[in-house]
Amino acid sequence: MQWILKKFDDTEKLAPALDRLGLTYSWHKVVPFVGFIMPAPEIRDPKSVVFFGSYTLWRYAEAHNLEPGVFRIAPFLREAPWQDYLLNGPGARILTLCDVPAQLVDDGSQWFIRPVEDSKEVAGLVRSTGEIIDLVQKVLALDVADIPNGALRHDTELMLTRPAHILKEWRVWVVDGQVVTWSLYKEGARVTYRPEIDEDARAFAQHMVDLNPGYARAYVIDICRTPDGLHLLETNCINAAGFYAADLVKLAAAIEAL
């Protein structure tokens, strides 16, 4: 496999793992939102190329018919097998950005907000109704033609749900239907990266994968523990998700095997 990497701090963690496995890779700059890369890579086999470092690299991969390229995923909120397990699913409000001012009352309440698509136009955060409305109005004040790719747009779908109390959060990497590595990334309010997972949480993650076998060939699934049990937080594109304390040798080997 030819590994094409966007050069930045997190992706640089991959290099020692790829070196250990004897895999070839090259470093590139990526034009934000567009997915154009510099310098252009010299492709040996278009059926054996994988990208890491930016979600927008899917544009380059698809334009040049490179496979597997970027493992794109569907919005997790709409996946029927996971509905009963979602932390932010039951009771969530799905609003198109342009509908927010009319649908959301500025009463000072708090909401967790994130785009429905895994496109990272804005990070998932808890915000007050006033902050959300202010953000939306700034976007709506822009002419659609002036909004760059990768930014919030008038037709972006947003998920709003009530904040939940989370005790632990893990990121789990899934390749070919199997959990291959994991990392704790938050404990209570404290961000902490450790290569560990509670056994019941690992089993829960694999159960989520088994429930939805056709979701994607490779992806990241974030799970959490709350006072009422384990839940699925979200999924992410494996090519652009932070590595935290994952075992990158295991991850790279699994992708090579796939």
Strand bridging mode 157-161 / 25-30? unpaired
Kindly report, residue by residue over 177-224, the tens digit of the pLDDT: 999 999 999 999 899 999 999 999 999 999 999 999 999 999 999 999
Say whether 190 sits in a helix, a strand or coil: strand
Confidence (pLDDT) at 118: 64
Q: Is pLDDT at 238 greater than 70 in this prediction?
A: yes
Which of 50, 42, 8, 32 shows the shortest CA–CA distance to 239? 50
pLDDT band at 103 (very low <50, low <70, confident <90, very high): confident
C-alpha torsion angle, residues 167, 81, 123, 116 (rounded to 10) = -150
C-alpha torsion angle, residues 130, 232, 171, 34 (rounded to 10) = -60
The mean pLDDT of the chain is 91
Instruction: Kindly report the pTM of this predicted structure.
Output: 0.82
Q: Is pLDDT at 120 greater than 90 in this prediction?
A: no
Domain ranges in the chain? 2-69, 76-80+165-257, 88-161
Interval 78-84 mean pLDDT: 92
- DSSP symbols for 197-228: --HHHHHHHHHHHHH-TTS-SEEEEEEEEETT
Confidence (pLDDT) at 122: 73
Confidence (pLDDT) at 90: 64
Q: Is pLDDT at 117 greater than 90 in this prediction?
A: no
Helical (H) or strand (E) element with 72: none
CATH class of the domain comprising 76-80+165-257: alpha beta
CATH T-level assignment (fold) for domain 88-161: Dna Ligase; domain 1 (3.30.1490)
Confidence (pLDDT) at 56: 87
Which of 10, 1, 39 shows the shortest CA–CA distance to 171? 10
pLDDT band at 231 (very low <50, low <70, confident <90, very high): very high
Integer Cα distance of 35 and 51 in angstroms:
11
Q: Is pLDDT at 123 greater than 80 in this prediction?
A: no
